[in-house]
């Protein structure tokens, strides 16, 4: 099973370039080859997930292991947290790809689209599997550059402007990250995440340490769209084609933003109180401001994009609370709840935000509009879209028995147990505001009297699109089973363990 | 110490251009200047006193070489910067075709 | 676009071959001297770009050129990945392992599989930069029509 780890990156890379060569020669080749590649990746993910248990595997690329106890090569690490992210990336990638088989039929140059999509998947798999700081930066840029091209795919006025803004801010983020990696290398003379941890545990210079951490929060915050750095997200996620919006909002801001922040701040840096306060404050502000900005939107995809900012704020706030509780030392059960709630909300958000963006794409496919005031009365004309979007809206607002309720409940209970009463109140208030704007979406899109005279000509969307939406809606219900304690012990607890006890991460790699 | 301050001054020059220029192409060039200053800082971090260039000639005795790892990092980062600049240029040209101007004050379709 | 004057055309005809060979030299000696795949690939692309600039794009069939350079780039990357995967069959059975015999330090035919990587990366970078340039030329042709 060790040999499967580099294959997660190699298989989508080969498939991307094969599609580029053969897509123009053989007609329709790309439409079958790309979903086949992602099915192979899903099969590999299931094999790895079943065989992993609670251990972590590291893979020394090129055979360069440890020389006198110092890791000199590039290591790829697969542990319980990475395998959860791999499941989200590959599963959501397959569903978005299957959806785009019929959605992208009205665009030209389709083979470029499938090739770039495989490159995004390859880049994200690389970020999640890398145990090395610079390798992480390179794969991050691979997936982000492919997403710049995909946002601008249908070359209209709004898409180009959105892609330009996204690129400038994304490059600024990459520069800050590169500067931080350089400064870490300066003091520790190593780039391996576990080895940096060993050096920092021995002692560090306090002003330098805080400077590097602030640079990393700014750089990865630009990629993950936390509140002072969110300016590119509403434009980019609303102008992209809908399956790409689902991938960007559902997976990319998590795999290259929040995942890396969690991995570096739990497993690489020694916990520090000020930075944990900064993370919690940024998460809480994102939560509140994102939802307030989403209420006033009349463009459907822009409202969903602002709601993404709000839900990512939940995850970041939960992780910050986890660090603060671990630092206080006396309340470990609440810390486990907070970190577990954060990871669970990350998984849930990928599923229901992907579903909501695919619904918005289905409405746009049939009606050619994104403005809420021009839709109406679709619940009879498009029954599958209407039902699945109702399930998605109830999930994100936190209504039982859907999955959003359980993850938000766990975060609120952790906040109350840790005596963060202000954060718990904010979480409840934001959840009510979320319910408000999603009820607005449901009313204007599906249950209103239609102003559109041609309503009788609107039929349901084709089979690939409706199949993808039905699978995601079933997952919304099925993931609420993860809140049962015996199931979450099996799936979530190893991930929480590898984050909380960083000795588990670093000594497994160094082997001391 | 003064070399690091000069690199930081270059970073500030690029950042000033990124923020205040209104022409699309000038924003791209300022972004390139900012990136190059980061590369310079990375290469300077690897400097060791009295070190030679890290090319090993077989048959010579042990020398002090400068650190080659930041140089490898900067090579890769230069190629990444080239790719992003090329894509930004393509988008800027397409934007010119749609809006007939390079001025960012005219290109404001997305608000709110 | 139009070509340039006769002097430029003649000098470019003489120089382009030398620049191409210099690029190949930098690629082949990548494990001995500074340079390697990236720098050599850019030089090779530079030779082609110089020819296109001097003779004008009206003497080319642009669609065929851009398909050719795009396919060259894809084949370059596929060969690199296949070489890295083949390493999983020999020796220590790890990805990216150096499985060919390493000779003496300082010879041209040494360092195992690294010169092969340099060659394929050089082909790939040359194809990529030529594709970018040709795409911009095609764009200009379309907009000035």
Residues A371-389 as b or e (16 or more Cβ within 10 Å = b): ebeebbbbbebbebbbebb
Res A512 pLDDT > 60: no
Res A494 pLDDT > 90: no
**How far apart are alpha carbons C93 and A381 in whole angstroms?**
57
Does residue A74 sit in helix, strand or coil?
A: strand
DSSP assignment letter at A66: E
Distance from CA of A2 to the nearest CA of C (A): 9
Q: Sorting pLDDT into bands at 50, 70 and 90, what band is A28?
A: confident
Euclidean distance between the first and final Cα of chain C, in Å? 11
Nearest CA in chain C to A21: C71
Nearest CA in chain B to A134: B73
Res C37 pLDDT > 80: yes
**How far apart are alpha carbons A504 and C31 in whole angstroms?**
39
pLDDT digit string, tens, across residues A373-417:
888 778 888 888 889 999 999 999 988 889 899 999 999 999 999
**How far apart are alpha carbons A93 and A87 in whole angstroms?**
10
What does the pLDDT read at residue A144?
Answer: 95
Establish if B37 belongs to a structural domain.
Answer: yes
**How far apart are alpha carbons A222 and A232 in whole angstroms?**
9
Phi, psi of A42 (to 5 degrees): -65, -40
**Mean pLDDT of all residues in B26-52:** 93
Residue-averaged pLDDT of chain A: 89
Q: Sorting pLDDT into bands at 50, 70 and 90, what band is B112?
A: low
pLDDT digit string, tens, across residues A311-349:
999 999 999 999 999 998 888 888 998 999 999 999 999
| Tokens 């795009």 sit on residue | C70
**Mean pLDDT of all residues in A282-304:** 92
The encoded tokens of residue B34 equal 């900012």
Q: Any residues with CB less than 8 A from the CB of A383 and at least 6 apart, and which?
A: A460
DSSP-assigned letters across all residues of A174-228: HHHHHHHHHHHHHHHS--BHHHHHHHHHH---HHHHHHHHHHHHHHHHHHHT-GG
Would you call C136 and B90 a contact, using CB atoms and an 8 Å cutoff? yes
**What residues in B contact A74, CB-CB < 8 Å?**
none
**How far apart are alpha carbons A79 and A90 in whole angstroms?**
16
Closest C-alpha among B70, B46, A2 to residue C95: A2
The encoded tokens of residue B84 equal 């992003």
- The percentage of chain B sitting over the pLDDT mark of 70, rounded to a whole number, equals 99
Domain residues of chain A, as ranges?
4-510
**How far apart are alpha carbons B41 and B89 in whole angstroms?**
26
Q: Any residues with CB less than 8 A from the CB of A115 and at least 6 apart, and which?
A: A16, A17, A19, A20, A23, A30
pLDDT digit string, tens, across residues A108-166:
888 899 999 999 999 999 999 998 999 999 999 999 999 999 999 988 889 999 999 99
- Determine the residue among C33, C41, C76, C106 to mutate to test chain B binding: the one whose Cβ has the most chain B Cβ atoms within 10 Å: C106
**What residues in A contact C66, CB-CB < 8 Å?**
none
Establish if B111 belongs to a structural domain.
Answer: no
N residues, chain C:
145
Would you call A63 and C94 a contact, using CB atoms and an 8 Å cutoff? yes
**How far apart are alpha carbons A16 and A13 in whole angstroms?**
5
**Mean pLDDT of all residues in B42-58:** 87
**How far apart are alpha carbons A221 and A69 in whole angstroms?**
34
Sign of CA dihedral B26, B28, B29, B33: positive
Res B56 pLDDT > 60: yes
**How far apart are alpha carbons A429 and A423 in whole angstroms?**
10
B touches which chains (3+ CB pairs under 8 A)?
A, C
Would you call B79 and C38 a contact, using CB atoms and an 8 Å cutoff? yes
- The percentage of chain A sitting over the pLDDT mark of 90, rounded to a whole number, equals 57
For residues A304 and A237, the answer to whether their CB atoms sit within 8 Å is yes
CATH assignment of the domain containing B88: 1.10.287.3510
Res C2 pLDDT > 90: no
Does residue C23 sit in helix, strand or coil?
A: helix
Provide the ipTM: 0.95
Q: Does B43 touch chain A (CB under 8 A)?
A: no
**What residues in A contact C88, CB-CB < 8 Å?**
3
Closest CB to A182: pick one of B45, B76, B88.
Answer: B45
Q: Does B48 touch chain A (CB under 8 A)?
A: no
Query: What pTM did the predictor assign?
Result: 0.94
Number of H helices, E strands in chain C: 4, 0
The encoded tokens of residue B23 equal 């022409």
Other CB atoms within a 10 A radius of the CB of residue A368 amount to 8
| Tokens 């080895």 sit on residue | A195
Closest C-alpha among A422, A386, A427, A387 to residue A405: A427
For residues A13 and C81, the answer to whether their CB atoms sit within 8 Å is yes
Q: At what angle do helices A332-367 and A383-397 cross, to 10 degrees?
A: 150
pLDDT digit string, tens, across residues A199-252:
898 888 889 999 999 999 999 999 999 999 999 999 999 999 999 999 999 999
For residues A366 and A107, the answer to whether their CB atoms sit within 8 Å is no
Nearest CA in chain B to C137: B90
What does the pLDDT read at residue A355?
Answer: 94
Does residue A50 sit in helix, strand or coil?
A: helix
A touches which chains (3+ CB pairs under 8 A)?
B, C
**How far apart are alpha carbons A372 and A359 in whole angstroms?**
13
What does the pLDDT read at residue A17?
Answer: 93
Closest CB to A20: pick one of C70, C85, C96.
Answer: C70
**What residues in C contact B56, CB-CB < 8 Å?**
105
**What residues in A contact C95, CB-CB < 8 Å?**
3, 6, 10, 59, 61-62
Would you call B91 and A172 a contact, using CB atoms and an 8 Å cutoff? no
Q: Any residues with CB less than 8 A from the CB of A373 and at least 6 apart, and which?
A: A298, A444, A451
C touches which chains (3+ CB pairs under 8 A)?
A, B
Res A511 pLDDT > 60: yes
Please count the structural domains in chain B.
Answer: 1
Q: Sorting pLDDT into bands at 50, 70 and 90, what band is C94?
A: confident
Q: At what angle do helices A133-151 and B69-99 cross, to 10 degrees?
A: 10
Residue-averaged pLDDT of chain B: 91
The encoded tokens of residue A156 equal 């209209």
Q: At what angle do helices A80-103 and A485-500 cross, to 10 degrees?
A: 110
Closest CB to B58: pick one of C33, C106, C135.
Answer: C106
Closest C-alpha among A137, A1, A11 to residue C81: A11
Q: Domain range holding B10?
A: 2-49+65-99
**Mean pLDDT of all residues in C2-7:** 88
DSSP assignment letter at B23: B
**How far apart are alpha carbons A403 and A408 in whole angstroms?**
9
Closest C-alpha among A172, A185, A438 to residue B41: A185
Would you call A61 and C81 a contact, using CB atoms and an 8 Å cutoff? no
Query: Lowest mean pLDDT: which of A287-296, A310-319, C57-66, C130-139?
Result: C57-66
Nearest CA in chain A to B104: A161
**What residues in A contact B83, CB-CB < 8 Å?**
145
What does the pLDDT read at residue A372?
Answer: 85
Closest C-alpha among C83, C75, C58, C88 to residue C122: C75
What does the pLDDT read at residue A451?
Answer: 65
**How far apart are alpha carbons A350 and A354 in whole angstroms?**
6
**Mean pLDDT of all residues in B99-112:** 84
Nearest CA in chain C to B94: C139
The encoded tokens of residue A462 equal 């084709």
CA A19 to chain CA mean position, Å: 26
Q: What does each C-alpha distance from A434 to A398, B30, B102, C106, C112 come to in angstroms?
A: 9, 40, 39, 66, 60
What does the pLDDT read at residue A139?
Answer: 95
Q: Does B49 touch chain C (CB under 8 A)?
A: no
Cis upstream peptide for A127 (omega within 30°): no
Distance from CA of A10 to the nearest CA of B (A): 19
Query: Lowest mean pLDDT: which of A20-29, A251-260, B65-74?
Result: A20-29
Closest CB to B107: pick one of A161, A238, A297.
Answer: A161
Does residue B104 sit in helix, strand or coil?
A: coil
Would you call A164 and B91 a contact, using CB atoms and an 8 Å cutoff? yes
Nearest CA in chain C to B54: C34
For residues A343 and A366, the answer to whether their CB atoms sit within 8 Å is no
For residues A421 and A284, the answer to whether their CB atoms sit within 8 Å is no
Would you call A10 and C70 a contact, using CB atoms and an 8 Å cutoff? no
What does the pLDDT read at residue B4?
Answer: 92
The encoded tokens of residue A6 equal 């580099």
Other CB atoms within a 10 A radius of the CB of residue A452 amount to 16
Q: Count CB pairs under 8 A between chains B and C.
A: 20
Closest C-alpha among A254, A248, A210 to residue A232: A248
Other CB atoms within a 10 A radius of the CB of residue A453 amount to 7
Virtual CA dihedral for A440, A442, A448, A453, nearest 10 degrees? 120
Contacts for A202-210: CB closer than 8 Å, 24+ residues apart = A204/A270, A208/A183, A209/A269, A209/A272, A210/A272, A210/A274, A210/A275
- The percentage of chain A sitting over the pLDDT mark of 70, rounded to a whole number, equals 98
- Looking at mean pLDDT, say which of A191-200, A438-447, A500-509, C124-133 comes out highest: C124-133
Would you call B94 and A174 a contact, using CB atoms and an 8 Å cutoff? no
What does the pLDDT read at residue C74?
Answer: 93
Does residue A400 sit in helix, strand or coil?
A: coil
């Amino acid at each position: 099973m060790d040999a499967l780890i580099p294959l997660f990156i190699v298989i989508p890379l080969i498939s991307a370039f094969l599609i580029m060569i053969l897509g123009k020669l053989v007609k329709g080749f790309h439409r079958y080859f790309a979903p086949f590649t992602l099915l192979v990746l899903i099969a590999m993910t299931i094999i790895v997930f079943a065989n992993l248990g609670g251990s972590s595997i590291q893979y020394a690329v090129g055979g360069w292991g440890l020389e006198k106890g110092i890791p000199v090569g590039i290591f790829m690490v697969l542990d319980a947290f990475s395998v959860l992210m791999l499941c989200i990336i590959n599963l959501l990638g397959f569903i978005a790809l299957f959806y785009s088989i019929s959605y992208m039929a009205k665009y030209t140059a389709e083979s470029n689209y499938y090739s770039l999509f495989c490159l995004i998947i390859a880049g994200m798999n690389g970020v999640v599997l890398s145990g090395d700081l610079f390798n992480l930066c390179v794969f991050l840029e691979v997936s982000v550059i492919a997403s710049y091209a995909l946002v601008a795919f249908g070359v209209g006025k709004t898409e180009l402007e959105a892609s330009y803004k996204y690129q400038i801010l994304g490059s600024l983020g990459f520069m800050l990250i590169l500067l931080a990696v350089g400064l870490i290398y300066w003091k520790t003379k190593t780039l391996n995440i576990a080895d940096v941890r060993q050096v920092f545990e021995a002692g560090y210079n306090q002003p330098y340490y805080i400077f590097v951490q602030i640079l990393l929060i700014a750089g990865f915050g630009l990629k993950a769209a936390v509140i002072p750095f969110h300016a590119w997200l509403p434009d980019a996620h609303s102008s992209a084609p809908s399956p790409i919006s689902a991938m960007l909002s559902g997976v990319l801001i998590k795999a290259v933003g929040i995942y890396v922040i969690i991995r570096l701040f739990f497993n690489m840096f020694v916990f520090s109180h000020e930075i944990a306060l900064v993370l919690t404050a940024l998460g809480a502000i994102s939560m509140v401001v994102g939802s307030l900005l989403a209420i006033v939107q009349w463009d459907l995809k822009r409202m969903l994009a602002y709601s993404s900012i709000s839900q990512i704020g939940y995850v970041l706030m939960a992780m910050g609370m986890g660090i603060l509780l671990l630092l206080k030392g006396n309340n470990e059960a609440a810390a486990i709840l907070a970190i577990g709630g954060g990871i669970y909300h990350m998984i849930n958000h990928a599923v229901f935000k992907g579903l909501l963006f695919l619904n918005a794409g289905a409405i746009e496919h049939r009606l050619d509009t994104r403005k809420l005031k021009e839709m109406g009365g679709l619940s009879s004309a498009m029954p599958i879209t209407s039902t699945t979007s109702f399930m998605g809206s109830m999930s994100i607002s936190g209504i039982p028995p859907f999955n959003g309720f359980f993850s938000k409940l766990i975060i609120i209970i952790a906040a109350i147990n840790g005596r963060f009463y202000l954060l718990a109140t904010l979480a409840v208030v934001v959840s009510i505001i979320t319910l408000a704007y999603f009820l607005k979406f449901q009313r204007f899109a599906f249950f209103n009297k239609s102003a559109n005279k041609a309503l009788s000509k609107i039929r349901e969307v084709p089979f690939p699109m409706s199949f993808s939406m039905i699978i995601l809606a079933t997952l919304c219900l099925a993931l609420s089973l993860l809140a049962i304690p015996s199931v979450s012990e099996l799936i979530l607890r190893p991930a929480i363990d590898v984050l909380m006890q960083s000795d588990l991460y670093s000594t497994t790699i160094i082997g001391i | 110490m003064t070399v690091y301050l000069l690199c930081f001054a270059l970073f500030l020059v690029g950042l000033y251009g990124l923020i205040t220029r209104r022409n699309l192409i000038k924003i791209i060039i300022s972004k390139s200047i900012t990136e190059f200053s980061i590369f310079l800082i990375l290469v300077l971090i690897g400097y060791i006193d009295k070190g030679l260039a890290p090319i090993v000639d077989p048959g010579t005795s042990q020398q002090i070489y400068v650190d080659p790892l930041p140089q490898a990092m900067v090579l890769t980062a230069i190629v990444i910067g080239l790719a992003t600049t090329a894509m930004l240029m393509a988008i800027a040209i397409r934007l010119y075709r749609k809006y007939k101007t390079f001025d960012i004050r005219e290109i404001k379709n997305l608000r709110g | 676009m139009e070509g340039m004057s006769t002097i430029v055309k003649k000098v470019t005809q003489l120089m382009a071959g030398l620049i191409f060979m210099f690029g190949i030299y930098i690629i082949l000696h990548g494990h001995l001297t500074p340079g390697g795949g990236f720098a050599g690939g850019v030089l090779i692309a530079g030779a082609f770009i110089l020819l296109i600039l001097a003779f004008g794009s009206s003497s080319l069939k642009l669609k065929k050129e851009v398909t050719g350079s795009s396919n060259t780039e894809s084949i370059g990357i596929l060969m690199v990945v296949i070489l890295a995967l083949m390493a999983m069959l020999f020796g220590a059975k790890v990805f990216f392992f150096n499985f060919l015999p390493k000779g003496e330090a300082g010879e041209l035919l040494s360092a195992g599989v690294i010169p092969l990587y340099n060659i394929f990366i050089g082909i790939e970078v040359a194809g990529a930069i030529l594709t970018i340039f040709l795409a911009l030329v095609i764009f200009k042709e379309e907009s000035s029509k």
